[in-house]
Amino acid sequence: MRRIILAGNWKMNQTPKQAKALLEELKNSLPATRHTVAVFPPYLALTQAVAAGEPFLVGAQNCHFEDKGAFTGEISLPMLSEIGVKAVIVGHSERRQYFGETDETVNKKTLAVLRAGLTPVVCIGETLPQRESGAYADVLKGQLCAALSGVSAQQVPYVVVAYEPVWAIGTGVTASAQQAEEVCAMLRGQLGLLYDADRASQVSILYGGSMNAGNAASLLEMENIDGGLIGGASLKPAEFAAIVQAANEVKGALV
């Protein structure tokens, strides 16, 4: 069975001290759950997040695909792994937009994260013009195939896919539950073609883009939406707790 994952992408927010306080607040606010609660703080707060322990699975927002070398300013997977990081966001649209990430680097990072034994959270998403022109299905299939090039059938169940329409990230505009489900079902179908239906059914596909306490239940109710990658709302303990609670209510029983 695929995992349900509620993942907070903190982006470039929270100093280490602030992170410690936020983690404490989150711990006190979150309901008990059998689902996976993940946090992706900035690099400098990763140690605090790992030290916070249960219930958090801790991930990084980026990594380099090489293990070491002359890549000034970069962070490698062995460094992340050694401090207890278990997942890495790969190809977030902000990295594609502002830091020159391409389908090729996203693929290299995806392969490197899997090789290191961590979970890649591979982000794909269409822009507003691509949505409005109707080209979005082809764009998304292309991004997915490119990201997974060279990923084996044995490895693919360890990949998490995050569908994040660019027009919904940080804008307050959310894809409707139907729009998000249509895409997530299509992506699962594409995984079935690339691998097989059984493998496709094991991949967690998250929705991301202005998910909040008000819209989480309707999105998470959808069959092919296995959780959320949550930006702004993950920094607000009450909001994030309400999203986890919504997952508890629509995706199955509590612990």
Task: For the CB of residue 9, give the shortest distance to ligand PEP in the complex, in Å.
Answer: 4
Q: Which of 200, 232, 206 is nearest to 219 (CA)?
A: 206
**Is residue 164 flagged as an active site residue?**
yes
Task: For the CB of residue 28, give the shortest distance to ligand PEP in the complex, in Å.
Answer: 22
Quick one: 34 or 86, whose CB is closer to ligand PEP?
A: 86
Supply 33's token pair: 């759950």
Quick one: 93 or 130, whose CB is closer to ligand PEP?
A: 93
- Nearest-10 crossing angle of helices 177-194, 136-147: 50
Q: Write out the H or E segment, with its range, that includes residue 130.
A: helix 128-133
Residue ranges in contact with ligand PEP by CB under 6 A? 9, 11, 164, 169-170, 208-211, 229-233
Residue nearest to ligand PEP (CB): 231
Q: Which of 196, 77, 201, 183 is nearest to 139 (CA)?
A: 183
Alpha-carbon distance 240 to 212, whole Å? 7
Catalytic entry in 92, 94, 101, 126 = 92
Strands (E), the chain: 5-9, 36-40, 56-60, 87-90, 119-124, 160-163, 204-208, 227-230
Task: For the CB of residue 27, give the shortest distance to ligand PEP in the complex, in Å.
Answer: 21
Task: For the CB of residue 233, give the shortest distance to ligand PEP in the complex, in Å.
Answer: 6
Supply 217's token pair: 């239940």
Alpha-carbon distance 43 to 167, whole Å? 26
Catalytic entry in 94, 101, 126, 164 = 164
Alpha-carbon distance 199 to 202, whole Å? 5
Alpha-carbon distance 235 to 163, whole Å? 20
**Is residue 64 flagged as an active site residue?**
no
Task: For the CB of residue 39, give the shortest distance to ligand PEP in the complex, in Å.
Answer: 13
Beta bridge partner(s), residue 39:
8, 58
Alpha-carbon distance 89 to 106, whole Å? 10
Residues noted as catalytic:
92, 164
